[in-house]
Structure formats: structure tokens, C-alpha cells
Amino acid sequence: MPQKKPVSSSPINAREFDQLIRLFGLLEAEPLVAVGVSGGADSLCLVLLLDSWLRRRRGRAVALIVDHQLRPEAKREIQQLVGWLANYSIEYHVLVWSDEKLGRTGQAAAREARYELLTGWCRRAGVLHLALAHHRDDQAETHLLRKARGSGADGLAAMPIVWEHNNVRLLRPLLSVPGTRLRATLLCMHQRWVEDPSNDDPTYGRTHVRRKLAKLSEENKGAAHIATVASDYASVRGGADEVTALLLVRVTQIDPAGFCWLDQMLLAEAPTKVGLRALTQILLAIGGNKYGARRESLLLLYEALRKNQIAGGRTLGGCCITPSRNGILICREPAAADHVLSLLPGQWSLWDHRFHVALGRCCVGGRRQFKVHRLGVNGWCAVKRKRSGVNERTLPLFVRYCLPALWDLDGLVAVPHLDYSRGDSFGGGQQPFTANFRPRRAFAAPPFQGVNSLVPVTGNTK
């Protein structure tokens, strides 16, 4: 496909890119960074700049190419991209998406699928950092899209420069750079790129936003102005995150079995906005959800906690909220913890979006069909039959039922949080199945960082 003529802009030089990338703290002795590369100008520019920067520090970049198998010309474009990467001696991996449903989903669902594929590769390869090529125009588009959908202040902050997804750090070092400068950089390198026809497909909402952004640019209210607005929202969100984190330290006691105790009196003393944010974070971490509960439902729960009217308990966001002598117990709702995960010896994964589970290779008896799912009533009964002296008061009832447990064709194999292991399952007296509480959304993640955290960029910023 013919490439569009870029607006006159200056390329990004090595010194400027060094200023942009230093913020991300790639301090390993030989840093290894994965880069999502589509062949478009943005991602190709990022992988070339980043690989050059890393090689000067005895590191390297690895290009991850997702083949969605949606367009017949995609194979040819990937072959072309692979040839370009080979010219720079950049390692690459083609990740094939095989889900036939992908073609019938929207851009947001497809984006989530890509993230799962990319971060999944990073986890398996032991790579901590995944760089993405979102730039200033993308940031402005995201802000406008969320504004049109009625997002609140947090959503209008658009994309952060650093985010954690599936225990992988997502880095966006070009978020303050106009897209035209990335194309100018490639032209300076005499490097071609691929134009994605979906960028102009009117069936996608982002295409209409892009056209609206072009019109606003004519009124001097284009990407630069809108990105600045998003940056202002990001500053507010970052400050709120810091205050919320301090409150969470005071009001919660987190247990490695995946639940927490909440001091409702201390929560009630906090300003309402901060208390609501804290409650949202707790429910996201315990419930394993990506998005918070509806505001109306959250307000009802918050008021019930504040007024001590929680007798009988509540459920919200996949969590059970129950009063007890130790405070308010917030744990996973057993009916919602229905994730069944197949696991082979030597593999690890994320179960129920809350637990990092791993199975060692020292399994005996030739068993290969292992699954991880909740302990449940039957599993708890199996534990009690084998260990009659087990203390039922060690963990609350619903917590026990939601514990990650390893099963095979013969039944329950292991429950790490109860120190339970079936005698014939593992050799050498070892316990190769582990389950560590690492929820998809942490109780108190690092404060949101917007574009204002990056150094200003020079050059033409049209």
C-alpha cells in the first residue's frame, strides 16, 4: 500500500530518545525489552530506536509480531517486516492468533487479545518490559473516545506511560511525541513501513475520532492541546492514587490467601472520594476484575460500611463482604471463582486473575492432565478426611472454598495455602505446585503517570 506523505517534522535523534527512555529505569546489566511491532511507522520506529539504545548498553530489543490471520495480505506484510528486522539483526517472534472469534470482535477486544498474547510471551520468556509505540496523537484520540463514552476523570487521563499487565511492565516512551516525527525518523533512516488499511476503516470508532482530530487541528485545538488536557487529568489521578495508597495501608490487612480485613471505622473517617477509591481498589484486587463496580452499587456498599449496616453481608464485584470479630472480611465470592486452568509440569500462569500458579517438573506417576480450580466444598472435605486435625478456624469458610487447588484425574492433588499434598503425587518430598497472591489489579499500584512525566520533546510539533 502506498505510504502517506508525512507533515514536515524533524526526526528524533539519539540524544532526545535517550532523555525519553531513561525515565523507565532499564537498569539491568544487559537489558532485554520486547516491542510490539506491526510493521507500521510507529512501532517500527520504536523498535529501531530502542534496539540501538539498548545495544549501546549491552542489551537488545526483541520484536513481537502478532499475526491475526484476518487479512490475506498480512502474510506478505509480515515477511516484509521480518526482512527489515533482519537487516538490523533484531530478533523477532511471530505470535499467531488462532481464535476465529477475533474477526467478529471490535477493536477494543482485539487489542485486549493482543495484550494477552504479547504479555503471555513475555512471561514465558522471562521478559519484564514490553514497549508499545503509542504516541501523542493516540493519546489525544483515546481522550476523545473516552470523553464521548462519558468516562470520568480517571478515564480522561487516557494512557499512562507505565502500566503493569499480567506481571509485565508496559512502557510507552513515545507518548509525548507527535506521530509525524516518527515517520520523519524513518524517512531519515531511509526505512519504509507498512500502512494499515484499518486505520481508515469507517466501521471503527477510532477512525471517526481521528478525522475529528484532524478538523480540530485546523482550529489549533488538535492533538497537542488535547494531550495537554489528558496530562492535566493524569496529574490529578496520580495525586489521588497516592492519597488512596496511604489510606489502604491504614485500613486493610492483606492475607496471602487472597482476602483482606477492612477497618470500616478508619475507612469512614476518610474523605468520601478517597474512601470510594480505596474500596474500589480492594474489590478489584480481591475480585480479580479489570473494571470497577457500577458507581451506584459502590455508593450503596460504602454507605452501608460507613453506617455499620452490613449485617448479613453483601456481594459486589465478585467479592463477599461480611462482618466478623476481626473487622470486615472481604474475600472472593465462591460462585464467581469458577476459572478452570489446565497446567502442565514446568508451566506457570495466572489463575482467576489473582494467583500466580506454577507447577514444577518433579511430578511422578506419569500424570500430565493437571487442572487448577477452586478448592470448593468437595476439596475441603477431602482435605479434612486426610488431615483430621486441620484447624477449620485458620481461614474463613468462603476463603477456604476459593483457594487455588491442583487436581488430576484421581482428584485433589495439592493446596499450598493449607500445606496439603496427596502422598502419591510428588517425588522427593517436594511440593512443586505453588500459588502466590498477585492480583491483576494491585491494592495500591504505583501512582498513574501521564505524559507530563516525560521530558519535553523538541522539533516540529504540528
Residue 295, pLDDT above cutoff 80? yes
Pairing of β 404-408 and β 370-374: antiparallel
- Distance in angstroms (rounded) separating the CA atoms of residues 171 and 438: 20
The pLDDT assigned to 342 comes to: 94
C-alpha cell at 373: 480450580
The pLDDT assigned to 89 comes to: 97
Structure confidence at residue 1 as a pLDDT band (50, 70, 90): very low
Percentage of residues of the chain with pLDDT beyond 70: 84
C-alpha cell at 195: 500502512
The pLDDT assigned to 133 comes to: 97
Query: What is the tens place of the pLDDT at every residue in 303-328?
Result: 999 999 998 899 999 999 999 988 99
Helix, coil or strand: residue 238: helix
The pLDDT assigned to 81 comes to: 97
DSSP secondary structure letters along 197-218: GGGG-TTSHHHHHHHHHHHHHH
Structure confidence at residue 427 as a pLDDT band (50, 70, 90): low
Other C-beta atoms closer than 10 Å to the C-beta of 240 total: 17
The pLDDT assigned to 79 comes to: 94
E-assigned strand segments in 366-454: 370-374, 404-408, 411-415, 420-421, 433-437
Contact present, 104 and 147 (Cβ < 8 Å) = no
| C-alpha gyration radius of the chain | 25
The pLDDT assigned to 122 comes to: 95
Q: Calculate the alpha carbon distances from 323 to 112, 329, 396, 400 in Å.
A: 37, 6, 12, 17
Structure confidence at residue 162 as a pLDDT band (50, 70, 90): very high
Residue 211, pLDDT above cutoff 80? no
User: Residue 434 pairs with which residues in a beta bridge?
Assistant: 358
Look up the CATH superfamily of 14-218.
Answer: HUPs (3.40.50.620)
| Region 276-286 average pLDDT | 96
The pLDDT assigned to 374 comes to: 97
Question: Domain residues of the chain, as ranges?
Answer: 14-218, 244-335, 337-437
Residue 213, pLDDT above cutoff 90? no
Enumerate residues 6+ apart whose C-beta is below 8 A from 419: none
Residue 171, pLDDT above cutoff 90? yes
Query: What is the tens place of the pLDDT at every residue in 110-148?
Result: 777 889 899 999 988 999 999 999 999 999 999 998 988
The pLDDT assigned to 201 comes to: 59
Burial 158-183 (b: 16+ CB within 10 A, else e): bbbbbbbbbebbbbbbbbbbbbbbbb
CA angle 58, 61, 67 (to 5 degrees): 165
Compute the Cα dihedral for 164, 166, 169, 172 and give only its sign: negative
Residue 107, pLDDT above cutoff 80? no
The pLDDT assigned to 453 comes to: 64
| Region 41-50 average pLDDT | 98
DSSP secondary structure letters along 113-162: HHHHHHHHHHHHHT--EEE----HHHHHHHHHHHHHTT--HHHHT---SE
C-alpha cell at 331: 474475600
| Region 62-68 average pLDDT | 92
Which residue, 398, 382, 260, is CA-closest to 335?
A: 398
- Distance in angstroms (rounded) separating the CA atoms of residues 62 and 109: 25
**DSSP letter assigned to residue 363:** B
| Region 44-62 average pLDDT | 97
The pLDDT assigned to 134 comes to: 96
Q: Among 176-185, 362-371, 439-448, which is the least confidently predicted range?
A: 362-371
**DSSP letter assigned to residue 462:** -
Which residue, 244, 258, 241, is CA-closest to 438?
A: 258
- Distance in angstroms (rounded) separating the CA atoms of residues 439 and 258: 8
Residue 433, pLDDT above cutoff 60? yes
- Distance in angstroms (rounded) separating the CA atoms of residues 142 and 136: 10
Residue with cell 476459572: 339
Query: What is the tens place of the pLDDT at every residue in 189-201?
Result: 999 999 876 666 5
- Distance in angstroms (rounded) separating the CA atoms of residues 160 and 447: 10
214: left (phi over 0), alpha (psi -120 to 50) or beta: alpha
Contact present, 224 and 136 (Cβ < 8 Å) = yes
- Distance in angstroms (rounded) separating the CA atoms of residues 71 and 22: 37
Burial 305-328 (b: 16+ CB within 10 A, else e): bbeeebeeebebbbbbbbbeeebb
The pLDDT assigned to 225 comes to: 87
**CATH class of the 244-335 domain in this structure:** mainly alpha
- Distance in angstroms (rounded) separating the CA atoms of residues 48 and 254: 43
The pLDDT assigned to 222 comes to: 79
Average pLDDT across the chain, whole number: 87
Residue with cell 487442572: 371
Which of the residue ranges 74-83, 86-95, 453-462 has the most confident prediction, judged by mean pLDDT?
Answer: 86-95
Query: 211 versus 312: which is more confidently predicted?
Result: 312
Q: Determine the angle formed by the axes of helices 179-188 and 136-148, rounding to 10 degrees.
A: 150
The pLDDT assigned to 2 comes to: 43
Q: Among 68-82, 94-108, 230-244, 369-383, which is the least confidently predicted range?
A: 94-108
Is 14-218's fold the same as 244-335's? no
Contact present, 400 and 390 (Cβ < 8 Å) = no
- Distance in angstroms (rounded) separating the CA atoms of residues 421 and 434: 11
Structure confidence at residue 424 as a pLDDT band (50, 70, 90): low
Residue 362, pLDDT above cutoff 90? no
Do you know the residue count of the chain? 462
Query: 280 versus 225: which is more confidently predicted?
Result: 280
CA 259 to chain centre: 21
Structure confidence at residue 7 as a pLDDT band (50, 70, 90): very low
The pLDDT assigned to 422 comes to: 84
Structure confidence at residue 6 as a pLDDT band (50, 70, 90): very low
Q: Among 257-266, 281-290, 347-356, 425-434, which is the least confidently predicted range?
A: 425-434
Residue 24, pLDDT above cutoff 80? yes
